[in-house]
A and B are shown apart, each in its own frame.
Chain A
Amino acid sequence: MICVTPEFILLSLVVVTALAFDFTNGFHDTANAMATSIATRALSPKAAVSLSAVLNLVGAFLSVEVAVTVTNAVIRIQNPDGSPKPELMADDGHGLLLILMAGLAGAIIWNILTWLWGLPSSSSHALFGGLIGATVASMGWEGVKWVGEGYHLDGVVGKVVLPALLSPAIAIVVAYIGTKLVFKLTQGVARRYQEAGFRWGQIFTASLLSLSHGTNDAQKTMGVVTLALIANGAWTSTTDIPLWVKFACALAIASGTYIGGWRIIRTMGKGLVEISSPQGMAAESASAAVILTSSQLGFALSTTHVCTGSILGSGLGRRGAAVRWNVAGRMALAWLTTLPLAGLVGAGMWWIGHLLGQGVGAFVVFAIMCAAALYMWWHSKRDPISHHNVNDAWEEPKDRAEKEATAVPGGTH
């Protein structure tokens, strides 16, 4: 029999927030697998998000071995075996639950803000950033594992910063080489025939990317939810996760993927490079190869950074294809700021929750998060992007503003 105690309500809020994060993770990352296929019309926008959602769902269920130790790479709230630190377990794990709540809220707010701006920032950086901020606010600077020891890649530097700098560079090189070779080999093939052939290739590589996304990203949230349950005492095993957690997380990430982050898809598919299907296939193969190789070699990286790097590389590899460096620059800025800014929001959320005390603190954090999300969603309605206009010709925001300013009010369209 479940008693509705304040602790139970807090736990429920954390679980709901974690699932909400998983949902934002889904729509933020649809672009990684599908942006180029949508841009080259290998798949219709609706078909692309549906395919990606189904494969994310399958992928999420394939990840049987879920690490409850997901936070151990960057913060010290868990023991090496995955059980929470005893000092955070007082009052049914209130200390730990508040860190998770504030961290997830920070990650969600940052994810939605970058979606509003149409920027493909990394969801795992947002999650780690939010959790790091909340941990620093709660336990001080020593609560965070900044640098790993020796040659074992660990900590914020080894698991987050260095891979974030190196992985886009690797992806650019691989996609550049692939694109060069592909165009060289298909010289003399009629243009229409070439495009049609590579569209098939794109569908396969995009599917592979969606599947690997499901196995990688869904299990991060599964780990966080299970950690919250352990902190509260509702679950005890650190090697296993409850079946309902797996179902809920799989559904959350798949439905997020299906909703589709159209603003981000547009930036990656149309904004960065005018992409053709041979480039699209080269970019997607490069991404899939880099992601799968890294996970085999235990090199942690962000799917978003790899996929963006690959698209850039495919633009550089085709003679005459223009890369919009100002768009790339905005993205790079978002990458650099994701971790610290999600961290600041996470820390602020923790202070709000902490100062208001055990009774209402978490509620207020939850309410602020919902209000911020709703406001940004409402704001996005002024300039909606959906599957109807995701492939329209790219316009720089500046040009668009000028056009609107010079347009005669009430004039014909």
Chain B
Amino acid sequence: MEQLLAALDGAWRVLLVAVVLGAGLPTLFAAGIRALAWGIGGDAEVHGAGVIVKPNLVGRLIAYLLFAIVLGSVALGIGYIGAHGMGWTISFNGIMPVFTPKH
């Protein structure tokens, strides 16, 4: 029974963090694609026949910003895997990740 409660406790935390990262990041990426389609114009978006969609700089800038956030998070993930394997721990004091050796 205690084992079940401990597992549910662990599962709850994993679910919470994984929803933020695992569903949140693809959502940002999707927003980036949406913005890029808007920014590029032409045939990237669904549009009516005969309508000419013009390219848009703001759309492209928003897209690049969103892609940068997603890429940065993936880089952080790789950093995490590497640090974990090397026996370092990673903690997030505030927002910036801090790498510290375990020993």
Using CB atoms and an 8 Å cutoff, list the residues of chain A in contact with chain B.
Answer: 59, 62-65, 147-148, 150-155, 157-158, 162-163, 166-167, 169-171, 173-175, 177-178, 181-182, 185-186, 188-190, 193-194, 197-198, 201, 204-205, 208, 211-212, 215, 278, 281-282, 285-290, 292-299
B44 at the interface (CB under 8 A from A): yes
| A62-B86, A186-B34, A212-B81 known; A178+B26 contact, CB < 8 A | yes
CB-CB under 8 A for A162 and B7, given A190-B37, A198-B33, A290-B18: yes
Give the docked Cα–Cα distance between A33 and B14 (Å).
20
Q: Across the interface, do B77 and A185 meet the contact criterion of CB distance under 8 Å?
A: no
Q: Is the CB of A186 within 8 A of B14?
A: no
A178 touches B7 (CB 8 A): no
The one of B9, B15, B37, B81 in contact with A174, judged by C-beta atoms closer than 8 angstroms, is B15
| Interface residue? B22 (CB, 8 A) | yes
Closest 5 CB pairs of A and B: A289-B22, A178-B23, A62-B85, A162-B7, A286-B22
Other than the given A62-B85, A293-B14, 11 more pairs (CB < 8 A) read A155-B3, A169-B11, A170-B11, A174-B19, A186-B37, A198-B30, A201-B26, A215-B81, A278-B26, A285-B21, A293-B18
Which residues of chain B in 13-35 are interfacial with respect to chain A, using CB atoms and an 8 Å cutoff? 13-15, 17-19, 21-23, 25-27, 29-34
- Report the minimum CB–CB distance from A293 to chain B (whole Å): 4
Q: Is the CB of B14 within 8 A of A299?
A: yes
Instruction: Determine how close the nearest CB of chain A comes to the CB of B39; give it in whole angstroms.
Output: 11
Q: Which residues of A contact B30 (CB under 8 A)?
A: 181-182, 185-186, 198, 278
State how many angstroms separate the Cβ of B9 from the closest Cβ of chain A: 8
Q: Which among B17, B43, B45 is the interface contact of A289 at CB below 8 angstroms? A: B17
Q: A181-B23, A211-B81 are in contact. Are A64 and B86 (CB under 8 A)?
A: yes
In this assembly, does B6 line the interface, its C-beta being within 8 Å of a C-beta of chain A? yes
For the complex formed, measure the closest distance between the CB of A243 and the CB atoms of chain B, giving whole angstroms: 16
Interface size on B, residues (CB 8 A): 47
**B residues in contact (CB < 8 Å) with A:** 2-11, 13-15, 17-19, 21-23, 25-27, 29-34, 36-37, 43-46, 70-71, 74, 77-78, 80-82, 84-87, 90
User: Are the C-beta atoms of B11 and A186 separated by less than 8 Å?
Assistant: no
Inter-chain contact B77/A292, CB cutoff 8 Å: yes
Can you name the residue of chain A whose Cβ is closest to the Cβ of B10?
Answer: A299
A-B contact pairs, 12 of them (CB 8 A): A155-B3, A170-B15, A182-B27, A185-B27, A189-B33, A190-B45, A198-B33, A204-B71, A278-B26, A282-B26, A285-B21, A288-B77
Q: Which residues of A contact B87 (CB under 8 A)?
A: 64-65
Inter-chain contact B7/A163, CB cutoff 8 Å: yes
Contact in complex: A189, B46 (CB < 8 Å): yes
Q: Output the nearest chain B residue to A293 by Cβ-Cβ distance.
A: B17
A64 to B27, Cβ gap below 8 A?
no
**Cβ distance A116 to chain B, nearest Cβ, rounded Å:** 32
Chain B hits for A287, CB < 8 A: 22
Contact of B78 among A147, A174, A211, A278 (CB under 8 A): A211
- Complex CA–CA separation, A215 to B86 (angstroms): 10
CB distance from A287 to the nearest CB of B (A): 8
B103's nearest neighbour on chain A, judged by CB, is A65
Whole-angstrom CA separation of A6 from B2 in the bound complex: 46
A286 partner residues in chain B, CB cutoff 8 A: 18, 22-23
Contact of A281 among B5, B26, B34 (CB under 8 A): B26
